[in-house]
């Protein structure tokens, strides 16, 4: 099989990756009620633009397809966000994310029961990460079935990261956190957003170059372990943007 091996100097390490073996962990966005959804909004819409009574679609006699797309990046699929998601001041993801390749660790976690919630604890993340030094952490929760691609999350009280778990990640130097849930925080927490505030250090010097990516889907074919992450984003001047994270397994 044809390979495209790349040797990359990353900090003090030389990493070997096969560029012909990408692992896409994004969710596709579809104009369907079966599109993944959260935050109590309708499904995305992708429909031809209209000019008076003329529908700009090849199927309707036009020379091109010319669709308008209406969606919310936070609610409708894989997205990457910056601290501007929770601040009065506008902080654009496009202006603050300037690097796109990172050493990442994929871990799998079974959320624990805590009162009436399911949570990801500091102890679980400590056990999974150990002494590894990574720039990015990819969290896959179990059970991990393909219905995550179409799940309707509103009013489901999904699992979330406990505050001390996020504090641990910040102390570990994790700059980019990726998770297969709609949010790292509890669905209904009275607007506290403890995890987001801790991760971006909103009570101190803002971590403007840190990002949270939510609504990923990590196939069961992808093993836990070390990967080289390419965090691709659409260049929206907004707090969040649709994104397409790609993982490359590091080779010995």
pLDDT tens digits, one per residue of 9-40:
998 889 999 999 999 999 999 999 999 999 99
What residue spans define the domains of the chain?
A: 5-29+74-251
pLDDT over 90 for what percent of the chain? 95
Per-residue pLDDT band for 3 (boundaries 50, 70, 90) equals low
CA separation for the pair 208, 40 (Å, rounded): 28
% of the chain at pLDDT higher than 70? 99
The CATH number fitting domain 5-29+74-251, selected from 3.50.30.50, 1.20.1250.20, 3.40.50.280, 3.40.640.10 = 3.50.30.50
Tens digit of each residue's pLDDT (9 = 90 or more) over 110-132: 999 999 999 999 999 999 999 99
Residue 17: per-residue pLDDT: 94
- Count CB-CB contacts under 10 A for residue 182: 22
Q: Residue 232: is its pLDDT beyond 60? A: yes
Q: Does residue 176 have a pLDDT over 90?
A: yes
Mean pLDDT calculated for residue range 156-167? 98
Written as six digits, the tokens of 222 are 């992808």
Banded pLDDT at 2 (limits 50, 70, 90):
low
DSSP string, 90-108: ---HHHH----EEEEEEEE
pTM of full prediction above 0.85: yes
The DSSP code sequence of 162-228 is -HHHHHHHHHTT--EEEESSS-SS-SSSTT--HHHHHHHTTTSS--TT-EEEES----TTSPSEEEE
């Amino acid at each position: 099989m044809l390979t495209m091996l790349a040797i990359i100097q990353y900090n003090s390490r030389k990493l070997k990756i096969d560029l012909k073996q990408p692992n896409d962990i994004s969710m596709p966005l579809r104009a369907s009620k079966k599109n993944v959804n959260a935050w109590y909004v309708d499904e995305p819409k992708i429909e031809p633009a209209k000019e008076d009574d003329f529908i700009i679609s090849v199927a309707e006699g036009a020379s091109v397809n010319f669709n308008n797309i209406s969606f919310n990046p936070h609610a409708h699929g894989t997205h990457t966000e910056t601290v501007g998601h929770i601040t009065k001041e506008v902080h654009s993801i496009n202006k603050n994310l300037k690097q796109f390749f990172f050493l990442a660790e994929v871990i799998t976690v079974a959320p624990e029961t805590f009162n009436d919630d399911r949570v990801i604890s500091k102890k679980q993340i400590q056990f999974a990460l150990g002494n590894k030094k990574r720039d990015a952490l990819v969290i896959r929760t179990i059970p991990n079935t393909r219905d995550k691609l179409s799940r309707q999350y509103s009013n489901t009280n999904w699992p979330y990261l406990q505050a001390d778990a996020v504090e641990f990640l910040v102390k570990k130097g994790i700059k980019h956190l990726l998770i297969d849930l709609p949010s790292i925080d509890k669905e209904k927490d009275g607007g506290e957003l403890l995890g987001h505030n801790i991760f971006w250090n909103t009570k101190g010097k803002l971590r403007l170059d840190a990002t949270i990516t939510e609504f990923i889907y990590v196939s069961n074919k992808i093993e836990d372990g070390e990967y080289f992450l390419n965090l691709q984003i659409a260049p929206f001047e907004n707090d969040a943007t649709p994104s397409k994270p790609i993982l490359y397994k590091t080779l010995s």
